[in-house]
Chain A
């Protein structure tokens, strides 16, 4: 089918010289690249590499500065425990951001569902298991409401979730009467709510179930995103929604499932948070929405959608935890911890932009 195999004249006059032109079509560029370009290329193909490197480097640096007390098994497991709730929220946030959306209501859904579970189990006398199931279903409904507004009413995700953040927050204040449910009451009436606070020791490390839940949530979502058609569709929608639709993806249905699933994950985080905090406080995790976005961004998931691995968000959450712990143990004031996290976000986005500029 190449021009050179056909002696006869074909095509237009101006194309005659094509016979002598380079006939390769899909040849690879095997030319020399500068080391920096090669790094850019590798990172483009493996977007999770950046947060992994940052995590390892920051572990090493804080290990040198803060010494043994940072590197103890106890402290490392404490970091894992501290990031577990924000980590689970970041998993939900990753799903949304991969579709080129954003969810400002994740923490509000989480706390609302923990309040619902607590009210039902502690005060209304509903069996704990049923209360938890109702809370999880409530999470799906709250996420589904976001999804419905975004796909059917066609509102931008930012505005939608800014609105539902306030709505869910008001609801949770109303349901809780702005009062915390005390730990003793939970222990007396529904101890199972605090199951994720349980822990066990391995060689000085204290592993809580909430940390294990976080890791399990990430692994399950990673599988769904990378090994199933649904996951490929999530990426395709985040990449180019119109193209996804034209190539036969039912985009609204997929988006709805993404928001519903994110809501479920938030509700799971709500259940885990009861064990982690020890009580149910309507005021807790007020900054959880933004913290989850921070973890996702530091984890190398592009805010423009379609790029990055959900495991990046896990590393992003861990990086934030390592920075906080390391700076604290090095005797640095809290305000400089916040300062450092701010720079991390900006650097992470700058690296994302640079990686996106990769050329073939």
Chain B
């Protein structure tokens, strides 16, 4: 088997007396959608935060494509090509779609205008944003300068996913991407997720929505009481099995199930 994209072993994170992550393992393989499920407070956000640098684990090691890393901020993870789609999307409502796609990594003009006057190359950024959104079948062409606040919830999610897909080279983390969306918009986002996988970028999908998880995930990481309980193949188990594992109603299969 080839080297996993992410491999974490024995991760521990304590906050005072609370152990948020208790010697947990984590593995993301090439080209897959890995769903992370767990009860509220099981620590699924914590383990993902440890991987993307939002929190620094107390113990354990994280390998990305086989190389050990130690991120102290999400910006470092981002510089390595790891993108995160936050639940609140992290978009600036009054700025345009193009501005939002490039926040924190703007393109400057060539030559002295960019070098000394630090002038932004807005046409280049708009073209790029338009291209990326069109690739994902998301946008009509003339709308790239629209402020994000004039978009619907699903469209905003689309912009956030497109931003991640445009810049991710290693993998994308998505935190509850369908939680705030209606039926039709959720469907669109699920298609987007599969589109992104088809481009070869693996995805970590944190979700509470079992039907969505079972539909798109290649493997499911079940988190319980601060650690990985098991990973299962959604084809071998039912949704009620998964819920039983994550709530402790049923004993998990052995670690090698998937």
Residues of chain A whose beta carbon lies under 8 Å from any beta carbon of chain B:
1-3, 10-12, 14-15, 18, 21-22, 25-28, 223, 227-230, 232-233, 235-236, 239-240, 242-244, 246-250, 306-307, 358, 360
Chain B residues with a Cβ closer than 8 Å to the other chain, count: 46
Whether a CB of chain A sits under 8 angstroms from the CB of B119 is: yes
CB contacts (< 8 Å) of B105 on chain A: these are: 248
CB contacts (< 8 Å) of B74 on chain A: these are: 246, 248
Cβ-defined partner of B120 (8 Å) among A232, A235, A360 = A232
User: Can you list 9 residue pairs at the A/B interface with Cβ under 8 Å?
Assistant: A18-B183, A21-B184, A25-B137, A25-B154, A26-B139, A26-B151, A243-B88, A248-B104, A249-B104
Cβ-defined partner of B91 (8 Å) among A228, A229, A232, A247 = A247
Sample of 4 more A-B contacts, CB < 8 Å, known A25-B154, A26-B143, A248-B78: A1-B191, A10-B215, A18-B187, A232-B120
Mark out the residues of chain B between 59 and 113 whose CB falls within 8 Å of any chain A CB in the assembled complex.
74-75, 78, 84, 86, 88-95, 99-100, 103-106, 108
A28/B120 in contact, CB under 8 A: no
Whether a CB of chain A sits under 8 angstroms from the CB of B5 is: no
Who on chain A is nearest to B192 by CB? A1
B119/A228 in contact, CB under 8 A: yes
Q: A228-B118, A229-B108, A248-B78 are in contact. Are A240 and B93 (CB under 8 A)?
A: yes
B152/A360 in contact, CB under 8 A: yes
Who on chain A is nearest to B194 by CB? A1
CB distance from B239 to the nearest CB of A (A): 11
Nearest first, the 4 A-B pairs at minimum CB distance are A248-B104, A246-B90, A360-B150, A229-B106
B118/A236 in contact, CB under 8 A: no
Whether a CB of chain A sits under 8 angstroms from the CB of B138 is: yes
B187/A360 in contact, CB under 8 A: no
Mark out the residues of chain B between 29 and 61 whose CB falls within 8 Å of any chain A CB in the assembled complex.
none
Residues of chain B whose beta carbon lies under 8 Å from any beta carbon of chain A:
74-75, 78, 84, 86, 88-95, 99-100, 103-106, 108, 117-120, 137-140, 142-143, 149-152, 154-155, 158, 183-184, 187-188, 190-191, 195, 211, 215
CB contacts (< 8 Å) of A11 on chain B: these are: 187, 190, 215
CB contacts (< 8 Å) of A18 on chain B: these are: 183-184, 187
In Å, the complex CA distance between A332 and B150 comes to 45
CB distance from A244 to the nearest CB of B (A): 6
A26/B138 in contact, CB under 8 A: yes
Who on chain B is nearest to A22 by CB? B184
CB contacts (< 8 Å) of A232 on chain B: these are: 95, 99, 103, 106, 120
In Å, the complex CA distance between A230 and B118 comes to 9
In Å, the complex CA distance between A248 and B106 comes to 11
A235/B158 in contact, CB under 8 A: no
In Å, the complex CA distance between A347 and B184 comes to 42
CB distance from A68 to the nearest CB of B (A): 43
CB contacts (< 8 Å) of B100 on chain A: these are: 247
CB contacts (< 8 Å) of A244 on chain B: these are: 90, 92, 103
